[in-house]
Structure formats: structure tokens, C-alpha cells
Amino acid sequence: MYIFKDTIFAAAFVNVITSTISLIFFYKICEICFNKQNAIISSFIFCVFPFQAWLGMSGLPESTAYCFIIAGIYYFIKWYLEKTDKTLIISSVMFAFANGFRYESWFFTATFILFVIFITIQDKKINFIFKNSLISFISLITIIWWLIQNYIDHNDAFYFISETAKIYDQFNTAGFLQKLVQYPVFIFYTSPLTAIFSFKVIYESFKGKELSIQKIFIWFNLFQLLLIVIQGVIGTGGTNMMSRYIILNAILLIPLSVKQALEFRKIFSVSLITLFITINIIWSFYYPQPYREDTFEVGYTMRYLIDKKFIGENENIYFEEDPGYLDIWAIKSLSNNPNKIVLGTFPLMKKQERKGRRKSDLTDDELNILEIKQYLEKNNINTAIVRSDSYTEKMSKLSVRNEQIGDYKIFYLKENSSNINDSSISTFSKNITQRRNNPDMIFYGGLIGLSNYVVDNSNLGMNPQTITLEWTSSHPKLLDSIEYEEFGLERFRSIIRIKTIDTDSTVYTITNKIFSDRNIEELIQNNRIKNIIVLKPFALLQYSRKFGKSPFDGGIYNLELSVFDEKNNNELLVYKGENNYIRDKIVFKDTLISKVADSLNIKIDTSKVKQRLQVTKTDSINYSYNLGSIIAMFPDSDYKKIVEKRSDFARIALAYSLQSILSQRYQADHILNWVFTYF
């Protein structure tokens, strides 16, 4: 923060630097183990390798860890050639640094130590075994420190493993065979071409007795992968989730595939290498979103409140932690002032204060409203971010202003001056969105318009986690209707219904307040507000805790949006422009079914749905708008039953899989789940 005033930029800047350093050492490794031509081509593929490109700009610690690992491998290879203590010490220090950033680096460290001992024995230099082993053990210093720190902080040296395991514990269906083969499968999914074309070179490395530098490089990568596979079988690694553990393994296969390509005839070699580069460039443009939309919005909101001095210099933000979830680190970074965020859970805080005066296992109900208020005042909390239902209810009884952003409930404990005045009200009246000028926009009750909406499409229509709704006012009386001066903002609520396509029956409903104390000012100033709605059944990590099993069957569903008026106890009529909204066909807007079915010429059987909607065509009164169709697939979904229920689901699922494989390199979870579970 002393050099860069933006934490996100600072993290990304560091990753760009470490990625550049990684490229330099990667080039040197390829040049030593293969040749200069291979090094140039492999380094170019390294630059456009999708995961490397993303991690190099993401601010995540993997890029920095990879930098030290690749540097460690380079100096290890130099040590093998030169047998000098200096290069071995540098290699050991590089692996030690890597261990401090990502604990999958520990498997590279273990491989490094074992290979040092193995090579020393192979060279028949028994007298040097103790010395070389001792030097290689330098790399363990940060692992030991990590374990000690975990024990000091949590009374459990392996706390980080147990917390990670909690995330997957309730919906992990991985069996022994899956745990055995999953990481090699991940490698082929991550980089299918380079992995396949490295086969022959790997096979040939086991021929002959000579221990060449090329063999050392190949075996080092394979042995580390073997350790990860073992960890997956006996540890916490057996899941249906795509893993970043094997990204570096996939990268280290690049020079092997290039070596194989260069052995073909020139025209074929050029074509194949061009294909490698082109496909990786295309895949590099498909970046994953590491957190849900509501997490980003909460982080940006906290930054806005801090920058605008709504949160004072000595005031703090409370964030209710949920063990096993890491969204707090994103929110701290996005707020650009992480020191202001106080972490904890109310029961844990209270247990520490009471020190055994009551039973040690406290529940949420043992903390009353007064105790919560005293804790917040003691820590000078200006704003509290709460997620648990019990504390949301308790905080609501404090009668403070609040708003909901996705899965987060934000309570503003200190009064802030309002920016609303006569001038802003006058400007608002002039900025009204006219229905006659927007014939294609959807309006509810003639008061509010749906200017834009986005259904999370990061998984190509499969299990979307969020819906972003952007609203605009279409009538000046909207402010009077919500009684903004008294902040009676509970009147209008959005309702998302997940409905079956065939029977139009609702299987799940999500209700959210449209207006809040904060966004009403944005509406008056800009005539635009945004709501983020979390589809909890599909937010898998939340889903595993909240439901225990799927709340409804997997399959194809429609998303429909209504607006409910609490005052008049009815839903608002839907208009399209100035006319009543008429549903005369299914609208698959920006969802999997339209994109994939059109691109692959798949005919979707929607005759039953069209017949039902044709009936409503004669009745032009509608109270909901179709946002599109989605595919629901839960960890405990029975794929065979879904196919029996809808014959077109198998074709759509296949189309989804092909689309994911060809474009979305980061969304392997559900495809791998199908493969491991059913095939």
C-alpha cells in the first residue's frame, strides 16, 4: 500500500513480474534439457497457456509459487550437471519460498529431496549423501514454519487441510478409482494436445540405462504427479472439482510435446505447432471468475463507503466468517483497506470472552441482541456483513438500515447523511425512462423497468449461481410509492421462480427486496440500481451446507421474474414498452440451450411448452417474464432418471460437454462428475 494505492493492482503487478521470471527460467530449462529451438517454441506456448495467462493476471498466489518452483527445478538441473553446493543451496531455497505460497508446492519439494538422494546414490558418492540431504532439507523450513503457525493459531498443525476438506465433505462422491485417475484426467482436460503428444517422449524416457538430463526432467514431473495421485487417494484431494494442483505439471509437458512435433516432417511440424499456439491463444480468452458476482459487489461497496468517508478513519467493518469459505480475502482486497475488516464469528468471540463460565460448545441462540450490540460498539463497528440466518434475524431487530447483496446482508450501524435533495429529485424526474421510447424493454406495473439482466453463464448455462438485475424507474411516482423519505423500502420485491418446462410448476422460489437505503440514492441520482440474486441451490458450496441434498430434481428449467407489491398484496402486471407483455414463444436468452443447440443443429422438443404458451397468447395479462432456460445438475442427481424424464436432456448435456471442452477450459467440474459417476 505504500507503493501502490490499489491492492488488486498490486497483486496483479507482482504476478506479472513473477510470471515473467517464470518464463525466463522455463526457457533455460527447455534449452538445457532439449535445445534452443524447442525452448523458443515452448516458451511461446507457455505465454499463451490458458491457466498460466489467467494466473499471471489474477492476483492469486499460484503464479508466484510456480515462479519459485520453476526456478528451483532449473537450479536442481544445474546442480545435476555441475554438482556444486551453491546450485543445490539455491534450488533448496527456491523450493522453500514456493512452500510458503501454496501447499501443493510441498509435493515438488518432496520430489526434489528424494531425487537429490537418488542421484547422489546413483553417482556412488555415499560420503556426500548426508551433506546433500542436509542441504536439500533447507526446503522444509517453510513447511515446518507453516505447520507450527497453524498449531499456534488453531491448535491443529493440519488445520488448513481440515478446513479445505469441509468444503467438499458433504457433496464429494469420489470413489477409489476416481481418486486414482482424476489428476491425470485433469491434465488431459487442461491441455489435451500437448499432453497427448508428450506420450511418446515419456515412453522413450524409460528406455536405456543412461540417466540423461532429459530423463531427470521428465521423471521429476511424473514423480511429483504420482505423489499428488497418492495424496488424492488417501487425503483430501478426491473430488469432482477441477484442480489447480496439476497446472504446472501440464506446463512441464509442453517441451515434450514440442520435441515430438519437431520430429515429424517439416510441414506437419509447422502445422502442429501452429495448432498448439492457436488453440491456446483462443482458450486464453476464457477466464474463470474466482468468486460470485455478489462477492465482488460487496467488496466494491465497502471500498465506496471507505472512499466516501461513510466509514470513518477509526471505524471498522465486521465480517461474519464461515469456516471453509475464502471469500473474505476477496472482499478484503476489493475494499482496498483490509485492515478495517474485523473477522470472526459471534459464538467464537463470545466463547473466548467467557472462558469456560458456560459450556464450551455455544450455539447462536446463546447470544442475545444486547450482547451482539455491545460487541459491535466495543470494536467500533460501522458496518456489519452477515450471512447466517440466525444473526441476520438478530441484527434486523436492531432497527438499523440494511440491504441485501446476493447472499450477504449488510447492516449500517451508524447514521450517514443523505445526498438526496430537491435538486437531485428534480434531476430524477428528468431522467425517467420513457416506455414509449423503449418498446422492447420489460416494465412492471408501469413503475419500474428491467433495463438489463445477466444470468451467470460462466458454466455455459449449467447451475448458474447468480442473476444480476438492473432496474430503472419509468414513472416519477415511484419514489412516492416506496415512501423513500421514511425509507419504507420493503414494498417491492423481486421473485425468481425456477419452473419446470413441461408442467410450468414452481420447484424453487427466491425473493429479494429491490430497494435499499443505499441504492435508493443511486436510483435518484442515476435512475439505475442493481440487484444481485444468488441461486442458492446452484451455489454448490452454500448448497452443500444449507440443503444436504438437492432441493429438486436435476433437469431443464425456466427462470421467471415477477415483482410483488407488499402494500397491495399482488404481483405487478408485465409490459413490453407501452403494451402488455405477451408470451408467444419460449425465450432462451443468453443461455446454454439457444447457444449450443443452434451451433450444433440440435432440435429441442418444446412442443408441449409451445402448446401451453399458445393458450396464454390469447390472454395478454402476464405477471412474470421469462429470463431463459438453465440446466440443473446436483451432486446427487440421478442422470439416468433425468434422461428418462426428458429425452432431449442427453443431447443437450452432450452439447454442453462439447461446448465446455472446446471453449471453457476452467469449467470441468460437471463434465468430470458425469464421466466419473456414470461412465
68 CB-near residues (< 8 Å, 6+ apart): 94, 95, 97, 98, 101, 105
CA dist list (Å): 215 to 23, 24, 95, 203, 223: 21, 21, 21, 10, 12
Residue 529: enclosing H or E segment and its boundaries? Answer: strand 529-534
Regions of the chain short of the pLDDT cut 70: 1-4, 163-175, 178, 235-243, 286-290, 323-326, 344-367, 416-427, 457-461, 483-488, 540-549, 584-620, 635-640, 643-679
Interatomic CA distance for residues 131 and 298, integer angstroms: 53
CA atoms within 13 A on the CB side of 296: 12
User: Which pLDDT value is given to residue 168?
Assistant: 55
Q: Which residue has the cell 402476464?
A: 622
- b/e per residue, 248-271, with b = 16+ CB within 10 A? bbbbbbbbbbbbbbbeeeeeebee
Beta strand pairing status for 448-455 and 341-344?
unpaired
User: Which pLDDT value is given to residue 472?
Assistant: 92
User: Which pLDDT value is given to residue 332?
Assistant: 87
User: Which pLDDT value is given to residue 33?
Assistant: 95
User: Which pLDDT value is given to residue 192?
Assistant: 84
Q: Which of 387, 395, 386, 405 is nearest to 368 (CA)?
A: 395
Interatomic CA distance for residues 405 and 296, integer angstroms: 10
Under 8 Å between Cβ of 63 and 49: no
Cell numbers at 555, concatenated = 433437469
Phi, psi of 535, rounded to the nearest 5 degrees: -85, 90
Residue 98: enclosing H or E segment and its boundaries? Answer: helix 85-99
CA 139 to chain centre: 31
The beta strands (E) that lie in 406-491 are given as 408-412, 442-444, 448-455, 466-473
CA atoms within 13 A on the CB side of 230: 8
User: Which pLDDT value is given to residue 321?
Assistant: 77
Q: Report H helices in 235-292.
A: 247-252, 254-262, 266-283
Q: Which residue has the cell 448435456?
A: 653
- The SS3 call for residue 153 is helix
Interatomic CA distance for residues 447 and 456, integer angstroms: 26
Dihedral of the CA atoms 228, 232, 237, 239 (nearest 10)? 130
Under 8 Å between Cβ of 233 and 669: no
CA dist list (Å): 49 to 42, 53, 65, 252, 270: 10, 6, 17, 11, 18
Residue 149: enclosing H or E segment and its boundaries? Answer: helix 141-154
Residue 632: enclosing H or E segment and its boundaries? Answer: strand 625-632
Residue 81: enclosing H or E segment and its boundaries? Answer: helix 62-82
Under 8 Å between Cβ of 112 and 76: yes
SS3 of 380-408: CEEEEEECCHHHHHHHHCCCCEEEEECCE
CA dist list (Å): 473 to 51, 301, 403, 424, 673: 42, 22, 19, 14, 44
Q: Which residue has the cell 405477471?
A: 623
